[in-house]
Amino acid sequence: MSQLRVFIVEDSPVIRQNLVGALEEMAPVTVVGHAEGAAAAKAVLTGQPPPCDLAIVDIFLRDGTGLDVLRALRDQDSPLVRVVLTNYATPDMRTQCLALGADRVFDKSADIDALVDYCIELALKSPGYGAA
């Protein structure tokens, strides 16, 4: 199983630190960076090749939104997997995120185990992840 390289877009340092700890402990994940706002996230994630295999994006950020990040990534020819992790996983928000190219949407309060399982699944299915 390969290490999945993850970039986190989350403006709360506490949530970000807890997420990094949980993912790196329970899944084959290495967190390679983070951004607190949409502008910083877009600057990193739109690079070619992307610096990671998976981007985990919150909706409400220090500047801009996760929807802005998804819009910037939508038309890119990139293998980057995009997931949204939010406290606002309403049916409408899920629909918007998926329409903007999110592969999955997870609820912060209810779906952390599902996110960990998804990371494990990605690492198992994709032996090329983590290759430098």
- pLDDT per position as a tens digit, 69-114: 999 999 888 889 999 999 999 999 999 999 999 999 999 999 999 9
pTM: 0.93
Contact by Cβ (8 Å): 73, 45 = yes
Instruction: Report the CATH number that the domain containing residue 66 is assigned in CATH.
Output: 3.40.50.2300
User: Rounded to whole angstroms, how far apart are CA atoms 80 and 11?
Assistant: 21
Structure tokens at 52: 């990671």
Per-residue pLDDT reduced to its tens digit, 2-17: 799 999 999 999 999 9
The tally of domains found in the chain comes to: 1
Sheet containing 104-107: order of strands: 29-35, 4-9, 54-57, 81-86, 104-107
What is the CA 107 to chain-centroid distance, rounded? 13
User: Rounded to whole angstroms, how far apart are CA atoms 93 and 96?
Assistant: 5
Residue 81 lies in a domain: yes
Residue 26 lies in a domain: yes
Query: In this predicted structure, what is the pLDDT of residue 127?
Result: 57
* Domain span at 33: 4-125
Residue 21 lies in a domain: yes
User: Rounded to whole angstroms, how far apart are CA atoms 126 and 91?
Assistant: 29
DSSP 6: E
- Tallying the residues shown for the chain, one arrives at 132
Residue 132 lies in a domain: no
